[in-house]
Structure formats: C-alpha cells, structure tokens
Amino acid sequence: MVEGSTSKKTEAITEAITEATTEASETIKTSFAPISNKDTTILILGSMPGDKSLELGEYYGHPRNRFWKIIAIITGNELPLTYSEKKAMLLRSTIGVWDVAHKAKRKGSLDSAIKDDEPNDLESFMAEHRHLKVIGFNGKKAESLYDKYFDRKSGINYFSLPSTSPANAGIDFESICNKWRHILIE
C-alpha cells in the first residue's frame, strides 16, 4: 500500500512540475509599436515578434530571417546594416510594418504555438494612414489572425506572402522575392 501511494505521489509531483514548466515557457509576449509614417502606402503584417526579435527589440531580428534582405532587393536598396537604417529604408519606400497580434501566449517563436492572442488596433491604424493601399501578410498565420479579427476593406489590395521566417526554408530566395514584388504593384 505504501509503495502504490508513493508512486501516485511521484506521478502527481511529476504532473505538477510538467504543468508549471509548460505554463512558464508559454509566456505572454507583446508586439512592438508599428513602423510607419503619414506617407505609408504599404503595410506588412506579421503575426508577432519571435524570441530573437523580442530579445533585440527589433522587427525581424533573427539573423536568418529574410525580411530585410527581401525588402532591400525589391525596393532597389542596399541592405542596411543597422536597425535605424532598416527602418529608414522602409519609410523611404512608404512601407510600414506591424503585427496583427498585440499580445499572445507563445512557447518559442513558431506561429503554430501562438495562443490566446489579442489583436493590435489595426482599425485605428488604417483610419490614421489614409494613403494605405496595400496590406501584405508575412505568412499564413498573420493572414488568419487578421481575418479572425478584421474585415477586409475596399480600396486596399491584400497579398498573401510567403513567410520570411527561417522556419520557411522551403522556398528559394529568388522565388520569395518574386512573390513579394507584388506588394509594390498598385
């Protein structure tokens, strides 16, 4: 009887530790403020920043994320070296960046792990950016989150774009650039 009781206690303790570990690793993560200005005509929407981006305090901060290189190529710019230069390149190109999710629980950086998401106030963003003509979704999760919370507006062209994430290594660089070029065609 003592042996069975000890086994049940061990199982209960193991289960409690597993639950606590899972809850601790599924931390609530919050997105950044948008990069935009009054001239923004194109808005790129991601799902929410990954761990490396959160650590650096920068959009698309993972060194293998292809976002900045793609934007440089399709806009005819040199690849900026600093985050400040990257943001300036976006603004010169009338491109803004934000995330659909304001905050969510997520273990790690995979979009598939996003839970209990809450949206950013994209309605106000669109009202304040009257020149906005294009919204590009950086990956399927960004698009599905947008469609979960918002209606598509007439007068705005929407583009489903392949994710620039390192997890999306199945598409070669030339092909992904060709698909991303569509956001520049109004």
* pLDDT beyond 80 at 28: yes
149-161 average pLDDT score: 96
Q: What is the pLDDT of the chain when averaged over all its residues?
A: 88
Check if 120 is active-site: no
Residue type, position 77, single letter: N
Q: Which of 65, 120, 138, 168 is catalytic?
A: 65
Closest CA to 31 of 120, 92, 157: 120
pLDDT (tens digit per residue) in 39-71 = 999 999 999 998 899 999 999 999 999 999 999
> For residues 154 and 118, what is the distance between their CA atoms, to the nearest angstrom?
24
Strands (E), 25-167: 27-30, 42-46, 95-99, 101-106, 115-119, 134-138, 157-161
Pick the CATH number of 29-184 from 3.40.470.10, 3.50.50.60, 3.20.20.120, 3.30.70.20: 3.40.470.10
The pTM of the whole model exceeds 0.75: yes
Q: Identify the band that residue 21 occupies on the pLDDT scale cut at 50, 70 and 90.
A: very low
> For residues 132 and 126, what is the distance between their CA atoms, to the nearest angstrom?
7
Closest CA to 67 of 145, 141, 167: 167
Give pLDDT, residue 106.
84
Q: Identify the band that residue 162 occupies on the pLDDT scale cut at 50, 70 and 90.
A: very high
98-106 average pLDDT score: 93
* pLDDT beyond 80 at 36: yes
